[in-house]
A and B are shown apart, each in its own frame.
Chain A
């Protein structure tokens, strides 16, 4: 036996690296790695050479220098003496702001449209189809500049609100002003004692959660269905309003007022933010509507029939039988559409909304001339957002995967 195995003991020859399948994959991988490293090395050495020739070697020190430009929309404290890094952070927060707002609105519109496209009412189904096809087949950048143009061209200027016989007037009992510079909406002011109201409101939220749990437990134990919806609505509003009245209205609304040539007070929502937000939402919602529709259609009709055989009402069938199964199909592409929306928010640069592409990739790049560093950082930021979201998505997919047998 030993003699046989000795005989078949292969003597290694160099040609086996190519012709022997046992070694060939190693050869291929080694060559691929070598080629890859050589390619990267070539690119990097070229870049280093070129940057050295231009006298701006790679370095991120410029981020600490004062930025020297203003950002008209900011969520955190920032002025022109703040550093470039802080400007980038302001931009990143603006990106996240419009992305979150957009995802919420796009989901709402998308779900409504997707469900309505399956409506039995022929007219509304067709109207929704027209909406979906129109928005899907025109570039999102066009929608963004179009929305911006609508705001600039059709809405009144702030000075139109002045005078005894103004050309424009505010909406909703003089609390909201739509102007071509943006929207002014009331801002809540928290006076003395408002902490009680806020705590009371939070407590009622906890109460809602506890009540729903109790109702479910009760239903599982006894089969008795408690009125969840109306109790939740009541708990949501009544205690907070009562507390507000008892404490003598500590939370007040500050209304925007016309002062000189512009409005003052209230929350000022820039028209660039709103145009971007609405355009991105409506564009993405068209895709989400298709996903929702496909998801609902993917649930077999037998499920609906089984539900009605069990005597479940149509409204409950949707909520308890179809949607939970459709969600499994809907969620993964939905998340990738959220990602698309976030990436498309970089088109903010077209309407002058200062997101991270506008600050880091726009003004900072132009002022410092550090294309390499700023673009690397910019890509890194988007990459981090994308990877975080896809990580969450994978985790979610894993948790809702059908466990068969």
Chain B
């Protein structure tokens, strides 16, 4: 009964589904994205329009200046004539000719042009030396090259007899031998003392005469280049890289010292770190330029770049120590206890268990410290070294380029931006790669 009634009432029953229709045109794809992200309300609409206008204003102004430019000229006046002839009187255009003219100088400073290959080679080798540290897939044997590189790089850059750097390396080798043989014969303690004492005696007393003697017999050497010839971006990279490389071991020691439960060691480390972090780098550079020689035995006078590198290293090591301390603090306590339960002593535990993990955690921050340090190398222009900013003043002092400002600053800023930005991207990439928590 009810069945038949229903049939009567429901005179129409759809048998097949309607095909799904497309979303409204304003609600899909690009249009939807624009509506949601740019014009989602009256306030956002106004903001977008105003911003678009500002962007157009800035970009068109900048591009108008940057593109209406002269690339081939010998002086600023010639540049202006070319721009006036090409784009009409009164046009403000960039004189990129100064960059073309002084490009090599901005890269290499006053380094002799026939020796540029040495700087290039040392940077290529630097990449080779860094590769096994940055990428774990490279054979571990390559680390030997990384260990030798600092001396090789120094010799390539500054030149002179090869026997000086070789004798310095020989000091390390002697230390290792002393540790091995004295340690085997008289115990680990005396071995350590010997490993510390033998190289120092070697470097202070014997290395110089021996190097001189061998050099007299077998003179192997390349042209010596004075420190005053260094400049440009290569100087920034030299100071930045040697600062960061030297500060890493020092920073590790300081971080361990700060974490240690030996009161005196900890106090010394905290005092040092807080002192360095409390003063601006420029005061330390003043120390490098005026004061550092006072603290050495009378008569010592060492090279300005070396002095700057020493102060930059001391500066960076305090920041590095804090970065590594952060990594140490992030390690779960179980790792330390695990090392203790395996019966490892302090240094074994640090070397095999704690440091590999702590350093891995702190790599992104180490990279940012390096970026900061690299940017800070510009400060050496204040104490008279010819880094890019210092060179820009020197270039402006030339009669041909007197009065040029924006092109040089823009170029220097651009180079720093490229370098620092790619480094920061690399550190973000590392952070993601090293992230082992599965959140």
Contacts and interface: CB of A to CB of B under 8 A. Distances in A.
Contacts of A387: 274, 278
B306 interface: no
B424 interface: yes
A347 B262 contact: no
B278 A383 contact: yes
Contact of A123 (B48, B286, B416): B48
Interface stretch (A82-90, A133-141, A264-272): A133-141
A122 interface: yes
Given A123-B51, A138-B413, A32 B379 contact: no
Given A46-B296, A375-B286, A29 B274 contact: no
A120 B264 CA distance: 54
Interface string A21-47: 000010011001100100000010011
B286 A361 contact: yes
Nearest to B36: A120
A357 B280 contact: yes
Interface string B293-333: 11111100000000000000000000000000000000000
Interface stretch (B110-118, B209-217, B359-367, B404-412): B404-412
A175 B40 CA distance: 40
B298 A49 contact: yes
A46 B294 contact: yes
Given A25-B262, A361-B286, A121 B378 contact: no
Contacts of B264: 29, 32-33, 36
A258 to B, nearest CB: 27
Contacts of B417: 134, 137-138
B82 interface: no
A343 B40 contact: no
B253 to A, nearest CB: 12
Given A142-B409, A375-B291, A382-B283, A121 B277 contact: no
Given A124-B47, A372-B291, A382 B280 contact: yes
Q: Is the interface of A mostly helix, strand, loop or mixed?
A: helix
B296 A121 contact: no
A273 B258 CA distance: 39
Contacts of B413: 138, 142, 146
Nearest to A33: B264
B263 A47 contact: no
B412 A142 contact: yes
B294 A146 contact: no
Interface string B29-70: 000000011101000100110011001000000000000000
Contacts of A379: 275, 279, 283
B44 A120 contact: yes
Contact of A127 (B55, B282, B412): B55
Contacts of A29: 262-265
B28 interface: no
A53 B298 contact: yes
Nearest to A342: B280
A226 interface: no
Given A29-B265, A146-B413, A46 B298 contact: yes
Nearest to B413: A138
A346 B282 contact: yes
A139 B375 contact: yes
Nearest to A28: B262
Nearest to A383: B278
Given A122-B37, A122-B38, A146-B413, A375 B290 contact: yes
A375 B288 CA distance: 11
A32 B265 contact: yes
Contact of A145 (B262, B287, B389, B420): B389
Nearest to A127: B51
B391 to A, nearest CB: 13
B197 interface: no
A372 B55 CA distance: 51
A121 B44 contact: yes
B294 A47 contact: yes
Contacts of B282: 346-347, 349, 357
A365 B295 CA distance: 18
Interface in A82-120: 120
Query: Which among A33, A140, A142, A357 has the greatest number of chain B C-beta atoms within 10 A?
Result: A142
A137 B416 contact: yes
B382 interface: yes
A49 B52 CA distance: 67
Interface string B390-416: 000000000000000110010011001
B280 A153 contact: no
A294 interface: no
A140 B294 contact: no
Nearest to A362: B286
A138 B378 CA distance: 10
A139 B51 contact: no
B48 A121 contact: yes
A299 B287 CA distance: 44
Contact of B283 (A133, A145, A346): A346
A141 B379 contact: yes
Given A18-B189, A28-B262, A375-B290, A142 B416 contact: yes
B40 A383 contact: no
A303 interface: no
B431 interface: no
Contacts of B298: 46, 49-50, 53
A137 B427 CA distance: 14
B78 interface: no
A338 B275 CA distance: 17
B38 A123 contact: yes
A28 B262 CA distance: 8
Nearest to B269: A32
A51 to B, nearest CB: 7
B40 A120 contact: yes
Interface string A357-387: 1000100010000011001001100110111
Contacts of A127: 51, 55
A228 interface: no
B283 A375 contact: yes
Contacts of B420: 136-138
A121 to B, nearest CB: 5
A149 interface: yes
A343 B261 CA distance: 31
B287 A375 contact: yes
Contacts of B389: 139, 141-142, 145
B40 to A, nearest CB: 6
A25 B268 CA distance: 15
B72 interface: no
Given A140-B375, A149-B409, A375-B291, A361 B283 contact: yes
Given A18-B189, A121-B44, A349-B382, 12 more contacts: A32-B262, A32-B264, A33-B264, A50-B298, A120-B44, A122-B38, A138-B417, A142-B409, A346-B282, A365-B290, A382-B283, A386-B274
- Pairs of residues from A and B, 5 with the lowest C-beta to C-beta distance, nearest first: A386-B278, A122-B37, A137-B420, A343-B280, A139-B375
26 contacts: A29-B262, A32-B262, A32-B264, A36-B264, A46-B294, A46-B297, A50-B293, A50-B298, A121-B40, A121-B48, A123-B47, A136-B424, A137-B416, A138-B417, A141-B382, A146-B409, A343-B279, A343-B281, A347-B379, A361-B286, A371-B290, A371-B291, A378-B283, A379-B279, A382-B280, A382-B283
